Copies of this chain bind each other. A is one copy, B any other.
Amino acid sequence: MNRINKNERVGAIIKILTENPKKIYNLNYFCEIFDCAKSTLSEDIDIVKDIFEKFKLGEIETVTGAAGGVLYKPNMTKEQFKDFCTELCKKINNSERIIPGGYIYMNDLIYSADVSFNIGRALGSFFQDVDFDYIVTIETKGIPIALMTARVLNKPLVVVRKEGRLTEGTAIHMNYVTGSSKRIQTMYLAKRSIARDSKVIFIDDFMKAGGTAKGIIDLMKEFEAEVVGVGILMVTKEPEEKLIDNYHSLIVLEEIDSSSGEIIVKPSI
């Protein structure tokens, strides 16, 4: 390879860091690719940092020590966070989304790779400094946003099933009661999914009374794991008293007015 100039080093570093959020790259890794001295590379990293700061593109962090290096956190600024949630609320407040029975059609949003990635960035921002091992969600609609949160925080995703599957081996299954409709449901999780003594963050698309979240907390106890954070895309205003105490959300659903076609939904913060 020909001599590599500063432009090229900075560009390639940005490409690699951006595509691998929260993954720590040891400086030696880049020194080898570029065949350059560590001091040169330190200067490059400073430039990368400045670029991300100047254009509000997220955070570049250097970690010192033996396992140290450089990593990219796809954080949103407070303003970007608020703008994104406001924009999302605008998209949701559309009478055509109202489904008989008081539901809201959201598939086009949560299944959009672009929107779900930004939901992941937004939800991830609550947990950037939390020490944990897995992102946990429950099938089906929570999966895309949970996967993107997992990507942003660089942790493995675990998907709890509502039906037992032979294909996943021995599983723990558990009944739980939904919070608002008081129906009995079942959740299943393959035994090998989570190592003992793990810490997990639960991510879901929707929460009313919090029965599912409480169910997940109980299920995790069976795995001797602890839920150290809960992040939800949309929570309902009512009931105000939820079955769980601590959770973060992006938006609050206040009311669906089927007659006027208004969906009153607001950013949580």
Contacts and interface: CB of A to CB of B under 8 A. Distances in A.
Contacts of A100: 169
B154 A114 contact: yes
A224 to B, nearest CB: 19
Given A8-B50, A18-B18, A114-B154, 19 more contacts: A7-B51, A11-B48, A11-B51, A12-B54, A14-B18, A15-B18, A15-B51, A15-B55, A19-B74, A20-B114, A100-B169, A101-B166, A103-B166, A103-B167, A103-B168, A107-B193, A112-B156, A117-B151, A147-B147
Contacts of A150: 111, 113
A157 B148 CA distance: 14
Interface string A124-144: 000000000000000110011
Contacts of A147: 111, 113, 116, 143-144, 147-148
Contacts of A12: 51, 54-55, 57
A48 B15 CA distance: 10
Contact of A47 (B11, B20, B101, B117): B11
Contacts of A103: 166-169
B8 A159 contact: no
Copies of the polypeptide in the assembly: 2
A128 to B, nearest CB: 16
Interface string A144-188: 100110110011111101000011110000000000000000000
Interface residues of A, number: 60
Contacts of A10: 7, 10-11
Interface in A90-113: 99-101, 103, 105, 107-108, 111-113
Interface in A1-27: 1, 4, 6-8, 10-12, 14-16, 18-20, 23
Given A15-B52, A55-B12, A139-B139, A111 B157 contact: yes
Contacts of A33: 55
Nearest to A190: B107
Contact of A156 (B4, B8, B111, B148): B111
A11 B147 CA distance: 27
10 closest residue pairs by CB, A with B: A113-B151, A11-B51, A103-B167, A99-B169, A111-B157, A18-B18, A113-B150, A14-B14, A12-B55, A143-B143
Contacts of A140: 139-140, 143, 159, 161
A192 interface: yes
Contacts of A169: 99-100, 103, 105
Nearest to A162: B163
Contacts of A167: 99, 101, 103, 105
